[in-house]
Amino acid sequence: MLEKFNVQSRRPSCHAIILLNLILVSCALCAHAQTAPTDAEALQKRMARARALTAAHNLTAAAFELDAIRSSTTDEVVRDVVRIMLVDIYLEQGDYARAQSLLEETYKARSAQNEGSTRSYFAVAGQTLNGVRAHLERYRTFGLNIADRDLPPEAINDLDRLRGLLERVAEQAREVGAGDDKNSDAFALLEDVANVRASLARDMEDRARWQGQIAEARQHLTTAAGTRLTTLSVASVSPSPALTAAQSITTPPPAATQPAASTASNAPAKSESAKAGANTAETAAATAAGQPLNLGALLEKATQKVSPSYPAFAKTAHVSGIVRVDMVIDEKGSVVSAQSSTGPAILRQAAIDAARRWKFRPTMSDGQPVRVVGFLNFNFTPQ
């Protein structure tokens, strides 16, 4: 009897089982509540480590960490930042195969029903161009001319692979534009990549081909914007950002919004009356042709300037560059339309939004205000 009692006394009652289950559920809920922020903090630390490894030029370790983050998270914002950082690292390493593989992956993931996926592609494509420009700048830093036919075979092979990568980006941009001939982002990307590819032309015929691509892209951009911009020559359509940087607006320091000094200080000075006569003749010709007057850089005519906001996504990914915005200004000095033509795709909308809020002094012709076209350059630099 005693043995039987002892065995039965060791059996848990129903109340005990319920109590035990409640304790286990409570513990699980507490653990989940504590794990969620911990996971977010852990992810932030991993991203910070990846950035630090990249800054320290330990690129292999940085790429490994970023690949691990990309495979372990479903947060698309984080994945986008990782893709951009990886493309930059691959191009820095000269690993064009992996850079193009990531580009293709993002391109194929585009969906008409998912605007974010399309933005992701343009961000990766824009960073690809940034990486190519930085790679080419390294040649110049070491005093090498990328057009020199006597470069060592290693350099020639490297440049050929860059050409192939750029040609693939151009092909993708054309494919996107073919599906939507009003997709300004696609044609802006095409113009941007064609500019870079033209700088790598093998010969005059190759250069002419890519200059034709620039002109074609600009024509589509003009049509998409619904403006009547005067047809420009290829040379004026594709200014180098380095040449126009003197007219740029640096974000965020406001001092950079001041007009830059003219670089043509050694040219013969024109009298004020000669300048006025030339401007009047140009204005009259444009008005007679039924076209707005092309003023070029609009910075000096501005009466209200608005600095663009730096997209947090782009800032986190350290995307930088100069964005050119072509604009149509009405007779009152207000912006009628603004369209980005060059610069990193991920920064263009911020530049356009800021440009639309600018105000300008009306341009007069024979005492009457006239419509004008011109451009602004916005320089985005992470702090």
Q: What is the DSSP string of 83-134?
A: HHHHHHHHHHHT-HHHHHHHHHHHHHT-BTTBHHHHHHHHHHHHHHHHHHHH
Q: Please state the rounded mean pLDDT for residues 230-249.
A: 33
CB under 8 Å to 279, separation ≥6 — which residues? none
* pLDDT tops 70 at residue 259: no
Quickly list H helices, the chain: 2-9, 14-55, 59-72, 76-93, 96-108, 115-141, 153-179, 184-199, 204-225, 234-237, 241-244, 272-288, 312-316, 345-355
Q: State the pLDDT at residue 177.
A: 86
Q: State the pLDDT at residue 39.
A: 75
* pLDDT tops 80 at residue 18: no
**Domain 41-231, CATH number (from 3.40.50, 1.20.120, 1.10.10, 1.20.190):** 1.20.190
**pLDDT category, 60, cuts 50, 70, 90?**
very high
Q: What is the DSSP string of 294-338?
A: EEEE-GGGEEE--PPP--HHHHHTT--EEEEEEEEE-TTSBEEEE
Q: State the pLDDT at residue 255.
A: 35
Q: State the pLDDT at residue 19.
A: 46
Q: At what angle do helices 204-225 and 184-199 cross, to 10 degrees?
A: 160
More confident residue, 140 or 261: 140
* pLDDT tops 50 at residue 186: yes
CATH of domain 245-258+278-380: 3.30.2420.10
**CB 85: neighbour CB atoms within 10 A?**
25
**pLDDT category, 1, cuts 50, 70, 90?**
very low
* pLDDT tops 80 at residue 322: yes
Only one residue has tokens 């691959």, namely: 90
More confident residue, 32 or 135: 135
Do 126 and 346 contact (CB within 8 A), yes or no? yes
Q: What is the pTM (predicted TM-score) of this model?
A: 0.56
Rg (CA), the chain: 28
The mean pLDDT of the chain is: 74
CB under 8 Å to 216, separation ≥6 — which residues? 190
* pLDDT tops 70 at residue 216: yes
CB under 8 Å to 20, separation ≥6 — which residues? 12
The residue ranges of every structural domain in the chain are: 41-231, 245-258+278-380
Whether the CA torsion 336, 342, 348, 349 is positive or negative: it is positive
Q: In this structure, what token pair is assigned to residue 10?
A: 């060791």
HSE toward the beta carbon, residue 24, CA cutoff 13 A:
6
Q: How far apart are CA 18 and CA 21, in angstroms?
A: 5
Whether the CA torsion 209, 213, 216, 222 is positive or negative: it is negative
8 burial via Cβ count (<10 Å: 0-12, 13-18, 19+): exposed
Q: Which of 91-95, 205-209, 263-267, 340-344 has the lowest mean pLDDT?
A: 263-267
More confident residue, 272 or 359: 359
Q: State the pLDDT at residue 365.
A: 81
Do 303 and 361 contact (CB within 8 A), yes or no? yes
Q: State the pLDDT at residue 32.
A: 44
Q: How far apart are CA 217 and CA 224, in angstroms?
A: 10
pLDDT tens track for 157-168 = 999 999 999 999
Q: State the pLDDT at residue 181.
A: 62
**51-83 burial string, b = 16+ CB within 10 Å, else e?**
bebbeeeebeebbebbeebbeebeeeebbbbbb
* pLDDT tops 90 at residue 355: yes
Q: State the pLDDT at residue 22.
A: 44
Q: How far apart are CA 299 and CA 302, in angstroms?
A: 6
Q: In this structure, what token pair is assigned to residue 22?
A: 């409640």
Nearest to 234 by CA among 210, 207, 209, 215: 215
**CB 36: neighbour CB atoms within 10 A?**
10
Query: How far are the Cα atoms of 132, 144, 155, 157, 202 from residue 152, in angstroms, in the given order?
Result: 19, 11, 5, 9, 15
Q: Please state the rounded mean pLDDT for residues 199-219.
A: 89
Only one residue has tokens 């790679």, namely: 135
